[in-house]
Amino acid sequence: MEKKTRNLIFGLFWMLLASSNLCIDGLNIWPMPSSLKYGAKTLYLSKDFGLDTVGSKYVDASSTLKDAFQRLLDIVETAHAIDTNSTYYNPSLLLKGMRVVISSPNDELQFGVDESYKLSIPSSGNPIYATLEAPTLYGALHGLQTFSQLCHFNFTTRIIEVRQAPWNIIDQPRFSYRGLLIDTSRHYQPLPIIKNVIDAMAYTKLNVLHWHIVDTQSFPLEIPSYPKLWNGAYSPSERYTMADAAEIVNYAKRQGINVLAELDVPGHALSWGIGYPSLWPSSDCPEPLDVSNEFTFKLIDGVLSDFSKVFNFKFVHLGGDEVDTSCWVMTPHVRKWLTKHGLNETEAYQYFVLRAQQIAISHGYEIINWEETFNNFGNKLSRKTVVHNWLGGGVAQQVVAAGLRCIVSNQDKWYLDHLDITWQQFYMNEPLTNITNLQQQKLVIGGEVCMWGETVDGSDIEQTIWPRAAAAAERMWTPYDKLAKDPRQVTGRLSHFRCLLNQRGVAAAPLTGRGRAAPEEPGSCYKQ
Ligand SMILES: *[C@@H]1O[C@H](CO)[C@@H](O)[C@H](O)[C@H]1NC(C)=O
Ligand SMILES: *[C@@H]1O[C@H](CO)[C@@H](O)[C@H](O)[C@H]1NC(C)=O
Ligand SMILES: *[C@@H]1O[C@H](CO)[C@@H](O)[C@H](O)[C@H]1NC(C)=O
Ligand SMILES: *[C@@H]1O[C@H](CO)[C@@H](O)[C@H](O)[C@H]1NC(C)=O
């Protein structure tokens, strides 16, 4: 068959499949809610669809809810030009607005905040109002995201419709910690890029942006107490002021997302010594940070003091991974110090990590450390430690058996920079594997997908993160018994969500092929 004809036939075939897909749009919610019921009636979004907060104990002084509602309208209304004169505006089918009832006046966003919500859309009324009830503002924000996925532009009527009313959705997350790591040391990520990532996180109900700010390669962040640290930036312009960091924290908070700042010590810190060379054991052997120098700990104290003014999440991440201590042994003044204190290199690594933990605790933080700290001296770690798994599977099991909390990020399944890991593997990675004891299960506070930055900058970060991070987001949000046992059961729904991300301006990659692959041939978005 001639290629052109074959493509045409394929095209028609996929068009048919895609249109059959459209009929079940209402069930294409991602991530899938805990419980949902729906009917068969179509409602139309009124052209003055409004927000009503009567009865809410939350007074929206910060306009967070008002802005979130406006964002909802923007994402559902800007996809196509709406015909405000459409003859289809039947008054008895008009969805006039949404009543949002939030029971807590408090808008503090903290780990463990109640993120549940109930959304109901009746199919009749005079006029018809959707009702969104939530204990907190942050549950309500998730409810708005779900609602946005029930809205569809109809090309006949040219208005937005909500199909399959009446709707009753009751929803809450499975895990309290649902993270995504970005790395601004291997490549600088401009503020608008980070904000785009945050927007798409909100679409998928992820709630922690783990900001791996600095590392060996560059130190882009301003630290007011030690103003020469950002001499380690790649260039004078590839930097964040503390006000930029505060802007990111605030922008994320308004979408229900906490920012977890990371200071990875004592390894991964070479760039610190560009501004303060005495942090290096020596200029020939510059990593890890000099454990024998009191200035090292004084500086960490200053950095965490500055952090605590801006990064107000309960946790700070202190790294502690991949520490090669050979420079400590090879540098005469450090070796002398080790001998004097009767420490071998492993003990010195432990000394460093525990001392950094105490500094963080003195600034009001609880700590997250990468798993090597647990693997080497787990019983010495502060009980406030959350162990962050990455090396492989089976670690969470050991961490929670030792009574510590754990975040799961096993690199064989949840590292986004591993382009050969498919969305199916992201979807199927189960944080509670082999953990059956209920008390121990509760110690797994959640999981995190990691977008290490060696090969991502503003040109490709979105398509490397999405849609694979969304696959993991459903694993972390949706109750276990509602998750697909076979990823093929959710291919259509994820593919629909990926196209929705594209429609909202997010450069999510096709489902087929490796991470961030381009489409392979002509065809519908729903079939790639
Ligand atoms: C709707 O009708 C009004 C009044 O007839 C007209 O001015 C306006 O241009 C129309 N809008 C659209 C989008 O057709
Ligand atoms: C769009 O609206 C028309 C007219 O009400 C209806 O017949 C059609 O089924 C709608 N399209 C979809 C995809 O629901
Ligand atoms: C360091 O000392 C501890 C005992 O405190 C010992 O168990 C460990 O094997 C030693 N490590 C090295 C690398 O010598
Ligand atoms: C879970 O346990 C099974 C059976 O003991 C084992 O084969 C598997 O490797 C374990 N999985 C992990 C991730 O530890």
What tokens appear for 511 in the block? Answer: 């489902």
pLDDT band at 218 (very low <50, low <70, confident <90, very high): very high
The single residue listed with the structure tokens 């669809």 is 49
Rounded distance between C-alpha atoms, residue 73 and residue 50, angstroms: 9
Q: How far apart are CA 296 and CA 172, in angstroms?
A: 43
For the CA of 82, the nearest ligand: 1
25-39, 224-238, 308-322: least confident range: 25-39
Could you tell me the pLDDT band of residue 3, with boundaries at 50, 70 and 90?
very low
Q: Which two tokens stand for residue 124?
A: 């009749």
pLDDT at position 79, please?
83
Q: How many A from CA of 202 to the centre of ligand 4?
A: 33
The SS3 assignment for 119 reads: strand
Strand-pairing partners, residue 444, are 406
Asked if 58 and 500 touch (Cβ cutoff 8 Å), the reply is no
Poorest-pLDDT segment among 56-70, 405-419, 513-527: 513-527
Which DSSP symbol is given to 240? B
Ligand 2 atom at minimal distance to the Cα of residue 23: 13
Instruction: Count the Cβ atoms, other than its own, within 10 Å of residue 169.
Output: 21
Instruction: Name the closest ligand to CA 343.
Output: 3
Strand partners, 240: 221
Domains of the chain, CATH where assigned: 24-171 (3.30.379.10), 177-490+499-527 (3.20.20.80)
Q: State the helix-helix crossing angle for 191-204 and 468-477, rounded to 10 degrees.
A: 40
Sign of CA dihedral 506, 523, 510, 427: positive
Dist. CA 196–CA 417, nearest whole Å:
18
Three-class SS state of 491: helix
Q: Is the CB of 283 under 6 A from ligand 4?
A: no
Type of residue found at 24: I
Please choose, from the candidates 459, 375, 463, 381, the residue with its C-alpha nearest in 3D space to the C-alpha of residue 417: 463
- Mean pLDDT value of segment 36-57: 95
Q: Look up the pTM and report it.
A: 0.94
Q: In angstroms, rounded to a whole number, what is the distance separating the alpha carbons of residues 104 and 101?
A: 9
Kindly state the average pLDDT of the residues 61-80.
95
- Give the sheet arrangement for strand 160-165, strand by strand: 35-37, 167-171, 117-121, 128-134, 94-102, 41-52, 160-165, 151-153
> How close is the Cα of 443 to the center of ligand 2, in Å?
48
Between β-strands 385-388 and 405-408, what pairing exists: parallel, antiparallel or unpaired? parallel
Q: What is the pLDDT of residues 285-320, one digit of tens each?
A: 999 999 999 999 999 999 999 999 999 999 999 999
Q: How many alpha carbons lie under 13 Å from residue 32 in its C-beta half-sphere?
A: 21
Q: Where does 24-118 have alpha helices with state H?
A: 64-77
Average pLDDT of the residues in 157-183: 97
pLDDT digits 0-9 by tens, 106-156: 999 999 999 999 999 999 998 999 999 999 999 999 999 999 999 999 999
**Dist CA 494 CA 481 (whole Å):** 18
Contact (CB, 8 A) for 336 and 394: no
Instruction: Return the bridge partners of 492, or none.
Output: none
Go through 132-149 and write b for each residue having 16 or more CB atoms within 10 A of its CB, e for each that does not: bbbbbbbbbbbbbbbbbb
Task: Tell me the CA–centroid distance for residue 343 and ligand 3, in Å.
Answer: 9
- By C-alpha distance, which of 313, 322, 319, 437 is closest to 366? 313
Catalytic annotation present for 366: no
Ranges of beta strands (E only) in 438-501 are 444-451
Q: How many residues does the chain have?
A: 528
pLDDT 10s digits, 430-450: 999 999 999 999 999 999 999
Evaluate if residue 68 carries a pLDDT over 50. Answer: yes
* Res. 1: pLDDT tops 60: no
The mean predicted confidence, pLDDT, of the chain is 94
Q: What's residue 513's pLDDT?
A: 83
User: Mutation test of ligand 4: which of 398, 425, 430, 433 has the most ligand atoms closer than 8 Å to its C-beta?
Assistant: 433
What is the spatial distance between Cα 229 and Cα 212, in angstroms, rounded to a whole number?
16
From 247, 322, 347, 430, active-site residue:
322
pLDDT in tens, 367-407: 999 999 999 999 999 999 999 999 999 999 999 999 999 99
| Ligand 4 binding pocket includes 392 (Cβ within 6 Å) | no
| Residue ID of nearest Cα to ligand 1 atom 3 | 85
Average pLDDT on 217-232 reads 98
- Is the CA virtual torsion 489, 495, 501, 507 positive or negative? positive
Q: Which residue has the tokens 């949902």?
A: 36
